[in-house]
Structure 1
Amino acid sequence: MIVDLTPAEGEAYDPASDPRVADYLAMSDAALRQAADPAAGRYIAESTTVVRRAVAAGHAPRSFFFARKHLPALADLLEQFPDVPAYVGEPELLERIAGFHLHRGALAAMQRPAPLDLEAVLRDARRVAILEDVADHTNVGAIFRSASALGVDAVLITPRCADPLYRRAIRVSMGTVFQIPWVRLGPWHEAVAHLRAAGFTLAALEVTDAAQSVDVVAAENHERLALILGTEGAGVSERALADSDVQVVIPMAAGVDSLNVAAASAVAFWELRSR
């Protein structure tokens, strides 16, 4: 159902008072969207590729939002969802509504899928990643992409971790946040209890005096391993270190002390993969 947002000649248009585009207002305010989108049961998929991957994952669109020139490229999607409104207009109007230029072509407001059950996600998993308070959406998206590519079965995120379904995290992940199961954890002690009950060894990726080289830990080929990745800068918390069974370090050369958490995750996922 195509809805042209172009106002009539001489008509004043205020996006803030247009309920049709409420899902797309204040798109550039990351803090606001991270709170508002989950509360509203929505997320925003950005780019035609990501929109298609969201639909392919079985996620239901609430509406589409794109420049009129993209109609031919998205015609098949609109036919698939004839009752879902597709708001179209000239790029300048859409930029005024969203607050940024839609250089990737299209947006869609999607219905958030129901949260997954932690025990069900862990049941058949052998490798999981735990993102402890990772706050940067780019890093979250990059970690999800590496996890999906390198054999991680699930991602668990702590309450203060950035939203994997924030549009930047989705875009950086290239839609892999739709492919790999993930669960937002409750209290840390409960999460640890679930992991231990499921037979996981907890490994913290952190530089400590007791840390073992990642290749040494990999050679042990743990049956079930949960890799804890800490927030940018501060790293893995003292609480999580105390609960870990082993600390893991990636040996550095040439005086470099560490890698960005997303880069380090990719190295660790590959080295610690299930064999």
Structure 2
Amino acid sequence: MAPIFPRVLLIGKYRDPSSGPGLARLATLLHTLGAEVFLESHCAPALQHDLRLPLLNLEDPTPTPDLVISLGGDGTLLSTARSLAGSGTAVLGVNQGRLGFLADIPLDTIEETLPPILAGAYREDRRSVLVAELWRDERRIVSGLALNEVFVHKGCGESMVELRVLLGDRPLYTERADGLIIATPTGSTAYALSAGGPILSPELPALLLVPICPHTLSARPIAIGDGLELRLSLLAARHPAALSLDSHHSYPMQAGDEVRVRRSPCEARFIHPLDHDFYGILRRKLHWGELPGEERC
């Protein structure tokens, strides 16, 4: 039987030759299952192993892959998913990192896990994506995507930033803090969680606003609907502030700049095994909801 995903593109952690054996293992298995296998061209120079695979550029792939397998940690998977957002191409995360919250399939179990997926036995998981724009003097100077969070912060300075936040045309609040995180449900288990924010179920059409070390003790995280645009005006900053997207790209800001954040019409499409369970991962990976000494589920 032909695989559901006949063309598969493999991606490893960039500039990391340690991903070579794992990619070779995946390529061998995929060939056995009847798939045509490609290697992402930016990964190839770092690999010491001669995989002898045809190369594809993720930014302009020809032919278009049916499935992309990301080998590494959550950071590698996020970078891959950002590049593919809106393309409709499915992404599968194989964990060779530390936590592996999104890249939830251990490499050690891949021979048992991957064949059913290629035969069509999988669970699909679509995640929201944010568009962030940096405006200065009524001119857009930066635009980018974020899967986890958009973060406006004090940069390398020691002083707080002062932000005015609007939801559409309605004022939410003015806040002095070290920064403000605007997180998707996906990002609610990342930086926003470590900053004291709640966990949002992945399917919720919501955004999470989490202040970092706010000046007032009354400032608390808040979840809002993602149907309206958020506008963050930088009112004051003694030192250059910054806009960061998924802790991957960072752009300098100055007083008077405005960041506009909205949900993108495109989505990231993840593939998981049939037994994938978001709440089970919370329990296993983050020990969520466990009592001291309680046996893990």
What TM-score comes out, normalization by structure 2 length?
0.28
Q: Identify, as 1 or 2, the structure richer in helix.
A: 1
What TM-score comes out, normalization by structure 1 length?
0.29
